[in-house]
């Protein structure tokens, strides 16, 4: 024990180590700490010397944690994050107020259709919090969660890494949208063949909606035609309203004020589930905890439950629950990012 004497730069060493492990880059760690890259390298070298362990494997420009580095990262990250949020937590305890900043990654649908009311309620209660919204695909949001770039992410995906917890919050249904008075809107028993008779307006091919539509049409052995390819559900709705085609969307984007007909498609397509992504073991700031409470009062309790389960079984893999209503269709190949 005497060998591990107190050092004034221990926290700085651990911060340099954790940021480098999160970003897999010393240069990005240097930016985060407002230091030079050589300074980060020296801090990590001194930490390795103090602990008498190799913490990183250096492969050219890439660096990876060793087995010992993984152990230290798991032990030290909660400590570093706890100290990073100490001023806000201290303020909360002393003055019963919440201060600081909040960094959220979310898919466009959540930012447009669910967060505005939540943010309004949140800022009314906590006006001193600075909020930053990152509009990105779910996969990118999950990586930002893992790297510590954001407090949490909100989105929909089928692939959740082992070090990330996913808490389902919202579920929305797939619908066909058409112009007012369209023949498909009054058809009693709609089929995929019926839909294929009309040109579709869809999101770009790399987006999950197109991939899902393509997969379902192929499963039913039905050809289809895309009249227009456009990004963003607001754009799709506008062009459908103008009679340029029909579209398949998730009803998260429908307010009821549009000049559109809507036809449920749950007999053909799965429901879309959106939820919270949080890194397991992360120390959430008071600002993040309060925001999650605004989204769903039960979410924090669910997260604590999952954390307790993780302590009992470190290999626990939390996967989202996706409701599949159509049998015989394989949706596993699709990454729901929008």
Tell me: do 165 and 185 sit in the same domain: no
Classify residue 337: in a domain, yes or no.
Answer: no
Using the structure block, give the residue that is written with the tokens 């626990």. Answer: 316
Question: What would the pLDDT profile of 121-151 be if each residue is shown by its tens digit?
Answer: 999 988 888 999 999 888 899 989 988 889 9
Regarding whether 144 and 183 lie in a shared domain, the answer is no
Three-state DSSP class for 54?
coil
Q: Are 276 and 167 in contact (CB under 8 A)?
A: yes
Label residue 232 by pLDDT band (50, 70, 90): confident
How many CB atoms neighbour CB 26 within 10 A? 24
CA distance 202 to 204: 6
Mean pLDDT, range 291-319, rounded to an integer: 63
Beta strands in the chain (DSSP E): 56-59, 62-65, 100-106, 129-135, 152-155, 164-172, 174-179, 200-202, 226-229, 247-250, 260-264, 272-279
Q: Is residue 104 part of a domain?
A: yes
DSSP label at residue 25: -
pLDDT at 243: 93
Residues 233 and 286 both lie in one domain: no
Rounded Cα distance, 175 and 111, in Å:
20
Looking at residue 222, what DSSP letter applies?
Answer: -
* Whether pLDDT at 93 is above 70: no
185 and 243 housed in the same domain: yes
Among all chains, which residue has been given the structure tokens 């510590």?
Answer: 148
Give the tens place of pLDDT for each residue, 46-78.
888 888 889 988 876 778 888 888 888 888 887
Model confidence at 180, in pLDDT bands (50, 70, 90)?
Answer: very high
Positive or negative: CA dihedral 180, 183, 189, 195: negative
246 beta partners: 200
Tens of pLDDT, residues 39-51: 888 888 888 888 8
Q: What's the mean per-residue pLDDT of the chain?
A: 82
Residue 248 has pLDDT above 90, yes or no: yes
Contact of 68 with 53, CB cutoff 8 Å: yes
- Tell whether 206 and 165 lie within a shared domain: no
Same domain, 75 and 194: no
For residue 256, being part of any structural domain is answered with no
Half-sphere exposure of 206 (CA within 13 A, CB side): 2
Q: Are residue 186 and residue 162 in the same domain, yes or no? A: no
% of the chain with per-residue pLDDT over 70: 82
What is the domain extent for residue 19? 10-84
- 117 and 140 share one domain: yes
Residue 338 maps to a domain = no
CA distance 22 to 8: 23
Q: What is the pTM of this model?
A: 0.65
Note whether residue 92 is domain-resident: no
Looking up residue 30, the CATH number of its domain turns out to be 1.10.10.10
Residue 3 clears pLDDT 50, i.e. is over it: no
Q: Are residues 111 and 138 in the same domain?
A: yes
Residues composing the chain:
338
pLDDT, average across residues 266-274: 91
Give domain status of residue 218, yes or no. Answer: yes
Count of domains for the chain: 3
pLDDT exceeds cutoff 90 at 6: no
Q: What pairs with residue 229 in β-bridges?
A: 202
Closest CA to 141 of 235, 314, 279: 279
Pairing label, strands 100-106, 226-229: unpaired
Q: What is the pLDDT of residue 332?
A: 40
- Tell me how far the alpha carbon of residue 82 is from its chain's centroid: 22
pLDDT surpassing 90 at residue 153: yes
| Mean pLDDT calculated for residue range 165-181 | 92
CATH of the domain at 226: 3.40.190.10
Instruction: Please indicate, yes or no, whether residues 286 and 142 belong to a single structural domain of this protein.
Output: yes
Return the higher-pLDDT residue of 43 and 209.
43
């Amino acid at each position: 024990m005497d060998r591990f004497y107190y050092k004034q730069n221990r926290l700085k060493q651990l911060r340099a180590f954790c940021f480098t492990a999160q970003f897999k880059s010393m240069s990005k760690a240097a930016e985060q700490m407002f230091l030079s890259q050589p300074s980060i390298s020296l801090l990590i070298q001194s930490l390795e010397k103090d602990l008498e362990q190799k913490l990183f494997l250096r492969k050219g420009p890439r660096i990876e944690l060793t087995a010992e580095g993984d152990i230290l990262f798991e032990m030290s990250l909660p400590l570093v994050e706890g100290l990073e949020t100490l001023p806000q937590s201290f303020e909360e305890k002393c003055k019963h107020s919440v201060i600081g900043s909040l960094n959220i990654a979310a898919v466009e649908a959540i930012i447009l259709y669910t967060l505005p009311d939540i943010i309004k309620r949140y800022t009314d209660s906590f006006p001193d919090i600075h909020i930053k919204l990152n509009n990105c695909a779910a996969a990118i949001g999950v990586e930002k969660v893992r790297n510590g770039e954001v407090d949490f992410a909100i989105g929909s995906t089928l692939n959740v890494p082992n070090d990330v917890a996913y808490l389902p919050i919202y579920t929305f249904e797939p619908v066909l949208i058409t112009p007012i008075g369209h023949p498909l809107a009054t058809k009693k028993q709609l089929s995929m063949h019926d839909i294929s008779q009309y040109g579709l307006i869809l999101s770009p091919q790399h987006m999950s909606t197109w991939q899902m539509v393509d997969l379902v049409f192929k499963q039913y052995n039905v050809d289809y035609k895309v009249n227009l390819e456009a990004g963003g559900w607001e754009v799709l709705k506008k062009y459908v309203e103008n009679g340029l085609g029909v579209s398949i969307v998730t009803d998260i984007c429908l307010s009821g004020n549009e000049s559109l007909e809507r036809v449920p498609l749950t007999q053909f397509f799965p429901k879309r589930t959106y939820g919270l992504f949080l890194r397991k073991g992360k120390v959430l700031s008071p600002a993040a905890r309060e925001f999650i409470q605004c989204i769903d009062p039960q979410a924090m309790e669910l997260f604590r439950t999952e954390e307790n389960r993780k302590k009992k079984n470190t290999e626990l893999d939390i996967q989202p629950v996706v409701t599949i209503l159509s049998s015989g269709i394989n949706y596993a190949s699709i990454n729901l990012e929008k």
